[in-house]
Amino acid sequence: MRRQEKVLHVPSASLIGFLSTILLIYLVLLSSHASSTSEENPRERLVMSLGSLVDYASREGREEKVAMEMAIEDFCSNHSSKNKISLKFCI
């Protein structure tokens, strides 16, 4: 009888990109909620740091980085809040 070997399934890059995009959207929404609560006290300023693991060697990784930077730029330009989002990338 043949012995069955277990195969480890690794998620594809597109799935990882999709999940990181969902995480970014969730954190931006969380930040907008925090900004609405911090507007009650104008002296408070919230700085939210977002981290991301991106593979710069792949085309998808470079596209993800540009998309996240554009999303944060759009969020900051359309938001009247004084809160800041800091995006940190790890290679």
* Separation of alpha carbons 34 and 8, rounded Å: 40
Question: Considering the domain boundaries, does residue 7 fall inside one?
Answer: no
Question: Considering the domain boundaries, does residue 66 fall inside one?
Answer: yes
Q: Which residue has the higher pLDDT, 84 or 71?
A: 71
* Separation of alpha carbons 14 and 70, rounded Å: 19
Question: Considering the domain boundaries, does residue 5 fall inside one?
Answer: no
Write out the residue range of the structural domain in which residue 42 sits.
13-90
Among 47, 50, 49, 51, which residue's Cα sits nearest to residue 82?
A: 47
Each residue of 31-54: pLDDT tens digit?
Answer: 766 555 545 555 566 667 777 777
Does this model's pTM top 0.85? My answer is no
Question: Considering the domain boundaries, does residue 2 fall inside one?
Answer: no
Alpha helices, DSSP H, located in the chain: 13-38, 59-78
Question: Considering the domain boundaries, does residue 29 fall inside one?
Answer: yes
CB 83 within 8 A of CB 42: no
Residue 30, pLDDT score? 75
Q: Extract the tokens encoding 40.
A: 């009650």
Please tell me the total count of domains within the chain. 1
Residue 64, pLDDT score? 83
CB 50 within 8 A of CB 4: no
Question: Considering the domain boundaries, does residue 4 fall inside one?
Answer: no
Give 57's DSSP letter: T
pLDDT, the chain, mean: 71
Question: Considering the domain boundaries, does residue 74 fall inside one?
Answer: yes
